[in-house]
Amino acid sequence: MSFPSTDILYPTDSAELEAVIGDALANHRSLEIVCGGSKRALGQAITTDQIVSLSELTGITLYEPEELVLTARAGTPLAEIEAALEEHNQQLAFEPPDWGPLLGTEMAQSLGGIVATNLAGPRRFQAGAVRDHVLGVSMVTGRGEAVKTGGRVVKNVTGYDLCKLISGSYGTLAVATDITVKVLPVGEKTRTVLIAGLDEADTVSVMTKALSSSYDVSAAAFLPCDLTAKSGVSYVSGAASSITAIRVEGPGPSVEARCLALRELLGAHGDVEELHFHNSHRFWQEIGNVSPFVEEAGQVWRVSVPPSEAAALVQKIQNVCDAEFYFDWGGGQIWLRLAGDHNDGGAKFVRKAIKNGGGHATLIRASEDVRSCVEVFQPQANGVKALNHRVKQGFDPGNILNPGRMELLIGTVSDAD
Partner 1 sequence: MEMPEPDAATIARRASILDELRRIVPAASVIAEEEGLRAYECDGLTAYRQLPLIVVLPETTEQISRILRYCNEAGVKIVPRGAGTSLSGGALPLADAITLGLGKLNQIVEVDYSNRCVVAQPGVTNLAITQAVEDDGFYYAPDPSSQIACTIGGNVAENSGGVHCLKYGLTTNNLLGVEMVLMDGEIIRLGGKHLDAGGYDLMGVVTGSEGLLGVITEVTVRILTKPPAARALLIGFDSSEAAGSCVAAIIGAGIIPGGMEMMDRPAIHAVEDFVHAGYPLDVEAILIVELDGPGEEVEYLVGRVDEIAHASGAISVRASRDEEERLLFWAGRKAAFPAVGRISPDYYCMDGTIPRHKLSEVLKRMAEASDRYGLGVANVFHAGDGNLHPLILYDANVPGELEKAEEFGAEILTLCVEVGGVLTGEHGVGVEKRDLMETMFTEIDLMQQQRLKCAFDPAQLLNPGKVFPTLHRCAELGRVHIQGGEMRFPDLPRF
With CB under 8 A as the contact rule, the residue among 2, 4, 66, 268 that binds partner 1 is 66
CA distance 389 to 205: 40
Q: How many residues bind partner 1 (CB under 8 A)?
A: 108
State how far the Cα of 246 lies from the Cα of 331, in Å rounded to an integer.
12
For partner 1, the closer CB: 152 or 230: 152
Using the rule CB under 8 A, is 171 a contact of partner 1? no
Applying the rule CB under 8 A, the residues between 6 and 45 that interact with partner 1 are 7-11, 16, 19-20, 22-23, 25-27
**Contact with partner 1 (CB under 8 A) among 380, 399, 413, 415:** 380
Which of positions 87-106 make contact with partner 1 (CB under 8 A)?
88-90
* Contact call for residue 381 and partner 1 (CB under 8 A): yes
234 forms part of the interface with partner 1 (CB under 8 A): no
The Cα–Cα gap between 15 and 199 comes to 56
Q: Does 258 bind partner 1 (CB under 8 A)?
A: yes
Q: What is the DSSP-derived secondary structure letter of residue 186?
A: P
Please identify, among the stretches 3-11, 226-234, 342-350, 365-373, the one whose residues bind partner 1 according to the rule CB under 8 A.
3-11
Q: Is 405 in the site for partner 1 (CB under 8 A)?
A: no
Stretch that binds partner 1, among 210-218, 236-244, 287-295, 340-348 (CB under 8 A): 210-218
Residue 384: DSSP 8-state: H
Contacts of 209 (CB under 8 A, 6+ apart): 265, 266
Q: Which one, of 259, 274, 269, lies nearest residue 202 by Cα?
A: 269
Tell me whether residue 193 is exposed, middle or buried, using C-beta atoms within 10 angstroms of its C-beta: 0 to 12, 13 to 18, 19 or more. Answer: buried
Positive or negative, the Cα torsion across 249, 252, 255, 259?
positive
Residue 70 lies near partner 1 (rule: CB under 8 A): no
**Which of 146-154, 220-228, 266-274, 366-374 is the region at the interface with partner 1 (rule: CB under 8 A)?**
146-154
Measured distance CA(273)–CA(282) in Å, rounded = 16
The DSSP 8-state label assigned to residue 155 in this structure reads: -
| Residue 300 touches partner 1, criterion: CB under 8 A | no
Q: Which of 118, 192, 203, 279 binds partner 1 (CB under 8 A)?
A: 118
CB 123 within 8 A of CB 212: no
Would you say how long the chain is, in residues? Answer: 417
**Rounded Cα–Cα distance for residues 114 and 92 (Å):** 11
Is residue 388 at the binding interface for partner 1, with CB under 8 A as the rule? yes
- The verdict on 112 binding partner 1 (CB under 8 A) reads no
Distance of CA 210 to the CA centre of its chain: 24
Q: How far is CA 64 from CA 94, 157, 333, in A?
A: 19, 21, 33
Interaction with partner 1 in 184-203: which residues (CB under 8 A)? 184-186, 188
| Interface stretch with partner 1, choices 166-174, 218-226, 271-279, 365-373 (CB under 8 A) | 166-174
CB of 18 to partner 1, least distance (A): 10
Taking CB under 8 A as the binding criterion, the range among 85-93, 190-198, 277-285, 288-296 that sits at the site for partner 1 is 85-93
Asked if residue 160 binds partner 1 (CB under 8 A), the reply is: yes
- Of the candidate spans 181-189, 228-236, 337-345, 365-373, the one that interacts with partner 1 by CB under 8 A turns out to be 181-189
Binding track over 235-254 against partner 1, x by CB under 8 A = ---------------xxxxx
Which is nearer to partner 1, 187 or 270 (by Cβ)?
187
| Binding residue for partner 1, selected from 84, 152, 263, 269, defined by CB under 8 A | 152
Touching partner 1, residues 305-364 (CB under 8 A)? 305-308, 329, 332-333, 357-360, 362
One residue of 49, 80, 82, 132 binding partner 1 per CB under 8 A: 132
Phi, psi of 161 (to 5 degrees): -85, 75
Residue 235: how many CB atoms within 10 A of its CB? 18
In order of 16, 146, 153, 310, 354, the CA distances from 61 in angstroms are 19, 18, 15, 42, 44
- Residues 6+ positions from 163 with CB-CB distance below 8 Å: 131, 134, 135, 136, 137, 149, 150
- Is residue 277 part of the contact set for partner 1 (CB under 8 A)? no
- Binding partner 1 (rule: CB under 8 A), the pick from 232, 238, 267, 394 is 394
**Contacting partner 1 (CB under 8 A), which of 60, 272, 339, 391?**
391
Task: Give the residue with the Cβ less far from partner 1, 156 or 237.
Answer: 156
- 276's CB contacts (< 8 A; 6+ apart) are 190, 191
Whole-number CA gyration radius for the chain = 22
